[in-house]
Structures are given as C-alpha cells and as structure tokens.
Structure 1
Amino acid sequence: MRLDKFVCKSTALIKSEAIALINAGKVLVNGEAFLSESAQVHENNEILLDGKRLIARPFRYLLMNKKVNTICSNVDELYPSLFNDVSIDKVSELHIAGRLDADTTGLVLITDDGRWSYNIITPSCKCPKVYRVDLSRPIADDTAEKFKQGLQLQGEQELTLPASLSVISPQRVLLTITEGKFHQVKRMFAAVGNKVTALHREQIGSVVLDVAPGQWRYLSAVEIQSFYPPAKKQSILGNSS
C-alpha cells in the first residue's frame, strides 16, 4: 500500500494532510523517515507518526446490485455515482473491482483492498464473470463454438479468451468470461452480427448476486477468501483459527 494511503487509513487525516506530514519527515517506517508519499509499505512494517504506531483500519468488502444509469465512479458525472447508495464511513476510500458501464446492471464488488481486487480483475487470474445478455435478434447456432474458440475483436491483436455461452431463450443467454476488455460483451456479440440490448452481471467467481437493485451487503469471510489463490487462502484460514 502507498504510504499516504496507509496514513489516511490509520488516522482521520485526508490525503493532502498525510502527504504534508510525510514530506516533513514526521512519518517513520521501521525507524527511517520516508519522505515520499508513494513509497510502498506493508502492514507488518512499524509505521510511526509523531512517535505513535499507526494501525490501519480493517479492509472492507461489499457486494452491490448496480442500478441502471449509475456509474462506477467515486464522483457524479453525467450519471450519478453508485456510491451514493453506499452509506458507510470514508466511502471515498473504496473502489470497484471490475467496473460496469452506466447502462449495465448487476453485481459489483467494492473494496479498499487493492491486492484483493487484483485477483478479480487481472486476466491471468481467470476469475469467471457471468452475464445475462438480452439480444436484438435470435442467437445463431454457431455462436457458442465461436466464443469457445475466441474472437478477434476490432482493435485487438489477440483473440478473446475462451468464453462459455448458455442459451436461455433465442434472445437471452448467459455468458461467462474470464477477462474484462473495454465493452467486451457488447463487442463480442457485435463481432458475430448481433447486438446487446440489456446486460446484467449475475456472478463473479463463486459470489452470486442476492440483493435488490441499489442495495448492498458485506461479503462473508468465505466469499472474501474465495478470491485468493489456494496458498494464500490457507494462510488466511490458518491465521483466523
């Protein structure tokens, strides 16, 4: 974690105040003054401010059902921020682990733990995301095979990673992907001559959406741990016993 973020997460200071104290040499990391706010620190480091050890507040992990015409941003823009519906302290410290477009609804995971969200959004981690997709025309018979083989999207050099398609009705399908290219689902269907008319994310990894639009809840310990690699997961479980 960046040093300025750690200081903010351990105190009531805002970012500019934390940076000023760091630059003034008021913050010691393992006995040494770190003058750069961007220095990376670990929770196991001894970090002191004016001689008092700082302890970061616990990370937070939330599930939310994103409403249509809201944005995955910390501030309102053309559409309102979905964070307007998250009524907890220091909401500005939170970020989305895998954003959705304004017109897309469904499951978003929210956290202030950057290492945790990395396991969700990085393609190499192959975290599956399941979308319910409504289409403008009936799905072609060969679409599932094309998605399984990978598609060449416009402007992309590499094929999409293998995706799984399950047909619910001629114009409604479930699509599972393990990456998150820009507007990927919409571009995939455009590449096979169809158009997405509605898009809703139902599941990320083993976590399934189970709250009403605009509502949120905290993730359980099991849900949080499910996004860590097996070795890390065992360590966490061991530390909790």
Structure 2
Amino acid sequence: MRLDKHLHQCIGISRSQASQLIRAGRITINGVVIKSGAQHVSELDHILLDGDPFDAPGEKHHYFMLYKPQGYVCTNEDAHHPSITKLFDLPHANKLHSAGRLDVDTTGLVLVTNDGQWSHRVTAPRKQCDKTYRVWLAEPISPDTEEHFAKGILLKSESQPTRPAQLEIITATEALLTIHEGKYHQVKRMFAAVGNHVTQLHRERIGSLILDPTLTEGQYRELTPDEIQLF
C-alpha cells in the first residue's frame, strides 16, 4: 500500500494532508525519513509520525490521562530520558503515544492513546484547544504582563505573534496561563519575552478536561466515554 493511502486510512486525514506531513519530513519508516507518498509500506514496517506510532485499522483503542512527572519525555524513543510509555503497566504500552507533548522538565496532564485519529483531533491547530498551565517564575510578574499576553507576544524566531492568552496572577511569582495554540516551548518563551524566567511548569487542563486531583505523579487512569467525546 502507498504511504499516503496508509496515513489516510489510519489517521483519518485527507490524502493532501498526508502528503503535507510526508513532504515536511514528519514520517519515518524503519528509522528513515520518507518524503514520497508513493513509498510502499507493509505491516512489517515500523512507521512513526513525529517520532510516535499510530494505530492500525481494527485495533482496539485505549485512552488515558497521565500525571506526567519530571524526567520523562513524550516521545517513544529518546537516548537520554525514559518515555512516558514506561509508566504504563500494560501489555500494549509500546503502542501508546501522547496526544500533544510536555517538555522533559514539565509536569501535569498528558493524554495518551493508541488512536491516531483521536490524537490528531486533540492536537490539530484548527481545533485551537485551550491549555492551562500553572507557572512559577524566578522574578515577580511585572504589572503589564497580563496586558502584553492578552495582545499577543512576538516570540524570537517567529513571524507572527502568539494568539491572545489569559494570565491570572496568583502570587508575585505564580500564575495560571491559558494559551490557545502549541508553539515550541511557548509558555517559557512568552515569559522570557517579557524578561522573566520559568522555574517550574505544570499543565492542569486541556480543553475542558482537568487533571484528576486523585492522581499523583506517574499515575494514570482511563478516560470515561464522556471525556473521550470532548475531543
């Protein structure tokens, strides 16, 4: 089967969207970046999207929320840090992947699944899925930070400012920040742009789904049917 057709069937995206992923170098087969949708693939090939596997047709789907601890990465392969999949005591754990990522030193809510189509809905830019982070800063938050974030911040190496974000100041060095996109290291870069430094970062919410307060670091639970339908 052609690679673009395989992506279309497994992830539920259009052929043109599949071609865009391939041309962007986001697909690897057996460790090699593939740039042609005409590449033939078989069930023996190890195919990754952004370093993560995705599900095959007919596979039973699983959905979890994880309280990610520090020191773990949200990719399935990393030479220096363990994957979050190592936290799952399940026979199918090697087939799981995260729907969106957190940095190795960031804690909090991560959605984990083997349903590639579902995770694509969670992370698709057009969905503009809100994410709320609890942030601890090295310096007191300046009085105009809330206004700057509400207007949008032009980050280093970016051509467009961030979308308007909502900052709720808790103490002089602690705040809740809600963003509506997922740029690389966005929260840290936003505070760096206003002259501050994030010392600790914790994600509390994705969309309307809040991290279960009964979970402790490294623990997970299955999502309910209603929670799955939120995305």
State the TM bucket, normalised to the shorter chain.
0.7 to 0.9
Instruction: Give, in whole Å, the separation in 2 of the partners of 1:91 and 1:84.
Output: 7
1:152 aligns with 2:154: yes
1:65 aligns with 2:67: yes
Q: CA deviation at 1:77?
A: 2.4
Q: Match of 1:116, SS? A: helix
The aligned counterpart of 2:139 is 137
Match of 2:87 among 70, 85, 88: 85
Farther off after superposition, 108-117 or 174-183? 108-117
CA deviation profile, 1:22-47 (whole Å, cap 9, x unmatched): xxxxxxxxxxxxx9437xxxxxxxxx
Q: Which 4+ runs in 1 deviate beyond 3 A?
A: none
Instruction: Give, in whole Å, the separation in 2 of the partners of 1:219 and 1:2.
Output: 27
1:179 aligns with 2:181: yes
Q: Match of 2:73, SS? A: coil
Q: CA deviation at 1:69?
A: 1.1
The aligned counterpart of 1:25 is none
| 1:123 partner amino acid | P
Taking structure 1 as the reference length, what is the TM-score of the superposition? 0.72
Match of 1:110 among 108, 112, 128: 112
Instruction: Give, in whole Å, the separation in 1 of the partners of 2:122 and 2:147.
Output: 25
CA deviation profile, 1:103-141 (whole Å, cap 9, x unmatched): 101110011122211222222211011100000011111
Farther off after superposition, 153-162 or 108-117? 108-117
Instruction: Give, in whole Å, the separation in 2 of the partners of 1:189 and 1:91.
Output: 35
CA deviation profile, 1:127-158 (whole Å, cap 9, x unmatched): 01110000001111111111111110000001
Distance 1:36 1:123, change over 3 A: same
Count of residues paired in the alignment = 186
Instruction: Give, in whole Å, the separation in 2 of the partners of 1:179 and 1:55.
Output: 29
The aligned counterpart of 1:216 is 220
| 2:195 partner amino acid | G
Q: CA deviation at 1:90?
A: 2.2
Q: Match of 2:85, SS? A: helix
Instruction: Give, in whole Å, the separation in 2 of the partners of 1:65 and 1:77.
Output: 22
Alpha carbons 1:119, 1:127 under 8 Å: kept: no
Alpha carbons 2:167, 2:176 under 8 Å: kept: yes
Q: Match of 2:120, SS? A: helix
1:185-196 superposed matches below 5 A = 185-196=187-198
Alpha carbons 2:86, 2:93 under 8 Å: kept: no
Farther off after superposition, 114-123 or 202-211? 114-123
CA deviation profile, 1:48-101 (whole Å, cap 9, x unmatched): xxxxxx971321111000111111121352122121111112222221111111
Alpha carbons 2:129, 2:207 under 8 Å: kept: yes
Q: Match of 2:177, SS? A: strand
Instruction: Give, in whole Å, the separation in 2 of the partners of 1:73 and 1:176.
Output: 24
Unaligned runs of 5+ in 1: 7-14, 17-34, 39-53, 228-241
The aligned counterpart of 1:225 is 229
Task: Quote the RMSD (CA, aligned, Å).
Answer: 2.3
Identical counterparts, % of pairs: 47
Alpha carbons 1:69, 1:80 under 8 Å: kept: yes
Unaligned runs of 5+ in 2: 11-28, 31-38, 43-55
Alpha carbons 1:107, 1:204 under 8 Å: kept: yes
